[in-house]
Amino acid sequence: MIVLFGQYALLLAVLTTLWGAIAGALSGVSGSEGLLSSSRRAIAVSCALLTAVVAVLEFALLSDLFSVRYVAQNSHMTQPLQYKVSALWSGQSGSLLLWAWILSVYSAVAVAIYRRKHRALMPWVQATLSGVLLFFVYVLAMVTPPLAVGAPQADGAGMNPLLQNYWMMIHPPTLYLGYVGFAVPFAFGIAALLSRRTGEVWIRTTRRWTIFAWLCLGTGILLGSYWAYIELGWGGYWAWDPVENASFMPWLTGTAFLHSVIVQEQKRMLKVWNIVLIILTFSLAIFGTFLTRSGVLSSVHAFTGSGLGPHFGAFLALVLCGSLALLIWRLPDLRSEHRLDSLVSRESSFLLNNLVLVGIAFAVFVLTTWPIWSELATGKNVSMGQPIFNRVTIPWFLVLIFLSGIGPVIAWRRASFRSLRNSFLGPFVAAAGVAVVLLAAGVRQVYPLLFYFCSVFVLGTIAGEFWRGARARMKTAGESFAEALGRLIWFNKRRYGGYIVHLGVVLCVIGIAGSSAYKREYTFEQVHPGTKMECDSYRLTYDRHRLESLPEYSSVVMEATLEREGRRLAVLPAEKRSYQRVENPTTEVAIYSSFLPRSVRDLARVGEDVYFIPVNVDPESGLASFKIMINPFVNWLWLGGVVNILGTGLAVLPDRRERRLMALALEEKRAVA
């Protein structure tokens, strides 16, 4: 009964969304106020209807309605409550429903906020948002209905136990909040083209939407890697898997967009480029959903065989070609009002940053989709391995890190030699000093040296910015250092939030470079309880094994005592679990992280993990094989991620200064019109 209600709500949502798009577009053409508010109401109703569908599916999951096919596939009677809730997005049609629902909520919020603003833009914004939503609602209603009813079943198949992890619960929604979030700036970009208001208004209006989407996408990627690290049990966090790349590509172009809009705001240049970037970013966000959901990479045949592939392909082509055609049509409206003067300027460094980011995204795109092209061209499905991704991208990441030290500090238009020396000499000397110390300490690999050099250089320029800004306030306003620093940040949230994000990125880089270059692995085969395993300066003693039996799974727990230099650090419990419904056992690694150093030599161990993997165990005798990895600096990556989130959070807060600039931009528009 309630399922039927949900099915009707979904069908109805197709109609209301369709009307939202039509009324919006008609209002854009005719200027009708009535149609505009009609479209607005349609968007609100679509949001309410989709909320109802989500509620019905969630209700079906929680009350074990196994007659609903999706519930039978993704849940079972004794599945823990939190995983019954998250089963909503563990399968295909559920996660598409989540996509559509988030988009409808974003759209409803956006039209509510801008109800009385942007009269010229809103009709097209509403038409674009509804148009995108229409596709997803249509696919949900016609191709993969989430509430389809099958034969009644006593129990369901249940969720894959690997996905039953706290981080995996929140990873997909976070990622989707990011993917979908780019729809709002995209809609404003399209509206700017259609209404021929291509100044900074659309960019300033969507600034916080973009940052929020970027934050969610980045956080989602990080949560995914953290989940891979603690759950998948191979000791790494990134494998250039297509699923990872799918989320990384829009993040790259989104990062480029966040930077290049600054140039348009300040210099009124790069107008075309910004539109191109937001079209690319949004298309890649859809492409990411498509890549993970259509199976196109396993085989082109799977793509044509599954119901979803062709629909997504057509929609993607429409979005990409339609937007680009529109862009070409409006090119005359998008002239730059300034020009590039010097290669040594902030404009140039931002341009280079954009070129590199888009270049990396393009390289990742080609390598990820290689199976498609190779199968189409030669009939062979050939995929690219990890090393080639690293080889192609790492040098460019190095350039990016270096630029993140230059870009925010260097002067607009043309930087003088004197200003360059003032801003960069100190950080450069510090970085060179650290490089020399590292060389003296025996570091010989080129990439780690270069990455640490750049990291210190960027840290130096950021510190310099904070120091100069705070000192200026101390002089003029007579504030204490802490007070000056606090106010400096609070009244320039965007700028200093950005610096904090750069700081976070540098911490991530330190973590990634260190853990990739200096990780060490030790294998111990067929050891009996009581065996001492020496690795590095650590000693792990395999104490005992015990069997545990829970309703969900039974497991073999292997306990090992970790010591270093005679000091007992922890007992590490690693586990092999066998879930009832799954044939292969799952591995639960045990991780010990060091944080506080006890001596100068220990400094290199700050953020180091001992990663204890049970490879195989004989439950009877306890005879087991282990792999132990020492992952230095890896916790810097997670710390950097948290700093990133804090910095972005700061930049997204309302800011008086940004509001004033927005008002100014609006004034100017009116004066021109």
DSSP label of 200: S
Interface positions, 513-572, toward another protein (CB under 8 A): 523, 525-526
Among 105, 141, 149, 239, binds another protein (CB under 8 A): 239
Answer yes or no whether residue 160 interacts with another protein by CB under 8 A: yes
Among 328, 442, 583, 599, binds another protein (CB under 8 A): 583
**Beta-bridge partner residues of 631:** 609
Q: How far is the CB of 78 from another protein (least distance, A)?
A: 20
3-state SS string over 571-602? EEEEEEEEECCCCCCEEECEEEECCCCCCCHH
Largest CA distance in the chain: 84
Sole window of 287-295, 492-500, 506-514, 599-607 interacting with another protein (rule: CB under 8 A) = 287-295
Q: How far is the CB of 77 from another protein (least distance, A)?
A: 21
Of the candidates 573, 577, 570, the one whose C-alpha atom is nearest the C-alpha of residue 548 is 577
Interface positions, 309-348, toward another protein (CB under 8 A): 309, 339-341, 343, 348
Among 15, 120, 149, 243, binds another protein (CB under 8 A): 243
Q: Do 73 and 156 touch, CB atoms closer than 8 A?
A: yes
376: helix, strand or coil? helix
Among 321, 355, 472, 642, binds another protein (CB under 8 A): 355
Interface positions, 33-62, toward another protein (CB under 8 A): none
Answer yes or no whether residue 167 interacts with another protein by CB under 8 A: no
Q: How far is the CB of 182 from another protein (least distance, A)?
A: 21
Distance CA 544, CA 528 (A): 9
Sole window of 105-113, 255-263, 355-363, 652-660 interacting with another protein (rule: CB under 8 A) = 355-363
Q: Do 631 and 607 touch, CB atoms closer than 8 A?
A: no
What letter represents residue 617's amino acid? Answer: V
Interface positions, 607-626, toward another protein (CB under 8 A): 613, 615-618, 621, 623-625
Q: Between 146 and 469, whose beta carbon lies closer to another protein?
A: 146
Count other Cβ atoms within 10 Å, centred on residue 376: 9
Among 125, 133, 163, 276, binds another protein (CB under 8 A): 163
| DSSP run (H or E) holding 337 | none
Q: How far is the CB of 572 from another protein (least distance, A)?
A: 17
Q: How far is the CB of 51 from another protein (least distance, A)?
A: 25
Q: How far is the CB of 331 from another protein (least distance, A)?
A: 17
DSSP label of 236: -
Interface positions, 82-111, toward another protein (CB under 8 A): 90-92
Sole window of 22-30, 63-71, 110-118, 299-307 interacting with another protein (rule: CB under 8 A) = 299-307
Q: Between 87 and 456, whose beta carbon lies closer to another protein?
A: 87
* Long-range contacts of residues 306-313, Cβ cutoff 8 Å, at least 24 apart: 307/143, 307/144, 308/92, 308/139, 308/143, 308/144, 311/135, 311/139, 311/143, 312/139, 312/286
Q: Between 4 and 388, whose beta carbon lies closer to another protein?
A: 388
The bridge status of strand 609-617 relative to strand 590-593 is antiparallel
Q: How far is the CB of 521 from another protein (least distance, A)?
A: 10
Q: What is the dihedral of CA 351, 352, 354, 356, to 10 degrees?
A: 170
Among 295, 313, 573, 649, binds another protein (CB under 8 A): 295
Q: Which residues of 176-192 are buried (b: 16+ CB within 10 A; e: fewer)?
A: bbbbbbbbbbbbbbbbb
What letter represents residue 99's amino acid? Answer: W
Q: How far is the CB of 288 from another protein (least distance, A)?
A: 11
Q: How far is the CB of 308 from another protein (least distance, A)?
A: 6
Interface positions, 383-422, toward another protein (CB under 8 A): 383-385, 387-388, 391-392, 395-396
What letter represents residue 187's amino acid? Answer: A
Distance of CA 40 to the CA centre of its chain: 30
Pattern 468-507, another protein, x by CB under 8 A: ----------------------------------------
- Binding-site size, another protein (CB under 8 A): 71
Q: Between 589 and 651, whose beta carbon lies closer to another protein?
A: 589
Q: Between 114 and 234, whose beta carbon lies closer to another protein?
A: 234
Q: How far is the CB of 306 from another protein (least distance, A)?
A: 4
510: helix, strand or coil? helix
- 237 phi and psi, to 5 degrees? -130, -5
Q: Between 295 and 649, whose beta carbon lies closer to another protein?
A: 295
Answer yes or no whether residue 164 interacts with another protein by CB under 8 A: no
Of the candidates 621, 620, 591, 627, the one whose C-alpha atom is nearest the C-alpha of residue 607 is 591
